[in-house]
């Protein structure tokens, strides 16, 4: 699927003016590697987001998965329908992934997703605990994969994902694996839901309220970033629990330390001092 912007229809016809190029997988060894990583998922349903010419769609079906091939470009959708008309286990959906309803049963994703909406796609998959997304193998920009998997986590939105999911940069991918080659380096990013989330799904919105506020300035000292929520005595207990200095940057905390911060807040801080639930950072 095109990697930059979404298509538009003007005067009743499709116009590709919002696209700057197509970057379709042409290297079969890359497809095989993604399938190999996808075999770690026991889910019977796989989503191919931005199915394009179907480089991943048919191989996924041949492995025995039920495949939902999602393509927003009507030209590619029509080609897919012609190419895969007699293939079993494949359903083609011509739709904008960001606007369509997600399956209600557990599913995985194996996809070469549009780079320009990578964060939005992952947000739709991982920001709502009720979404039954379990496992992903995704082509993304290398720089984006590094940012999503970097330690420590200084971005509230990514931290929220990583309290529920394990994100790993599996391996870099050469631009030559695509036609035409993109101008950026690429990578395979794997996503797997944790067996035991670091924050209970029912507490996710409250947790996001805390970290969205606390990480507004990642370099701020811990005592300043959390001072609105914790009393001096509570902060003293917290830094002892975390084994950090009270002047340590708030952005230096890891996921397990954040889980301890949240648990301490729920246990010791009066509810009227808790942040509003549901805060979300999209920086």
Domains of the chain by residue range: 8-193, 201-273
Q: What are the structure tokens assigned to 94, written together? A: 């011509």
pLDDT, tens only, 125-176: 999 989 999 999 999 999 999 999 999 999 999 999 999 999 999 999 999 9
Residues in Cβ contact with 34 at an 8 Å cutoff, skipping those fewer than 6 apart = 56, 110, 137, 139, 188
Sequence-distant (≥ 6) Cβ neighbours of residue 251 within 8 angstroms: 152, 153, 154, 215, 218, 219
Q: 201-273 has which fold? A: Helicase, Ruva Protein; domain 3 (1.10.8)
Which pLDDT score is estimated for 22? 64
Average per-residue pLDDT for the chain:
90
- Same-fold call for 8-193 versus 201-273: no
Provide CATH code, domain 8-193. 3.40.50.150
Alpha-carbon span 85 to 77, nearest angstrom: 11
CA distances to 85, 173, 239, 249 from 190, rounded to whole Å, are: 30, 13, 33, 29
Copy the structure tokens of residue 117: 């909406």
Among candidates 31, 271, 254, which has minimal Cα distance to 150?
254
**Is the per-residue pLDDT at 280 higher than 90?**
no
Q: Are 137 and 190 in contact (CB under 8 A)?
A: yes
Residue 2 DSSP one-character state: B
């Amino acid at each position: 699927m095109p990697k930059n912007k979404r298509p538009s229809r003007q005067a009743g016809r499709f116009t590709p003016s919002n696209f700057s190029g197509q970057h379709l997988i042409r290297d079969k060894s890359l497809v095989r590697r993604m399938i190999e990583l996808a075999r770690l998922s026991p889910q019977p349903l796989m989503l191919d987001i931005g199915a394009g010419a179907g480089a991943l769609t048919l191989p996924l079906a041949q492995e025995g998965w039920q495949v939902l091939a999602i393509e927003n470009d009507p030209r590619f959708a029509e080609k897919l329908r012609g190419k895969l008309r007699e293939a079993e286990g494949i359903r083609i959906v011509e739709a904008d992934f960001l606007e369509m309803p997600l399956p209600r049963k557990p599913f995985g994703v194996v996809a070469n997703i549009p780079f320009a909406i990578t964060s939005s796609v992952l947000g739709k998959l991982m920001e709502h605990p009720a979404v039954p997304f379990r496992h992903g193998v995704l082509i993304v920009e290398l720089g984006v994969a590094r940012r999503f998997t970097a330690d420590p986590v200084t971005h509230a939105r990514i931290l929220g994902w990583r309290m529920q999911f394990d994100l790993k940069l599996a391996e870099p991918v050469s631009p030559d694996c695509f036609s035409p080659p993109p101008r950026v380096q690429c990578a395979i990013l794997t996503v797997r839901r944790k067996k035991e989330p670091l924050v209970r799904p029912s507490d996710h919105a409250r947790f996001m309220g805390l970290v969205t506020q606390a990480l507004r300035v990642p370099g701020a000292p811990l005592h300043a970033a959390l001072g609105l929520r914790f009393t001096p005595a509570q902060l003293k207990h917290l830094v002892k629990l975390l084994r950090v200095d009270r002047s340590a940057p708030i952005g230096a905390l890891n996921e397990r330390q954040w889980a301890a911060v949240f648990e301490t807040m729920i246990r010791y801080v009066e509810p009227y001092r808790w942040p509003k639930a549901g805060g979300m950072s999209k920086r």
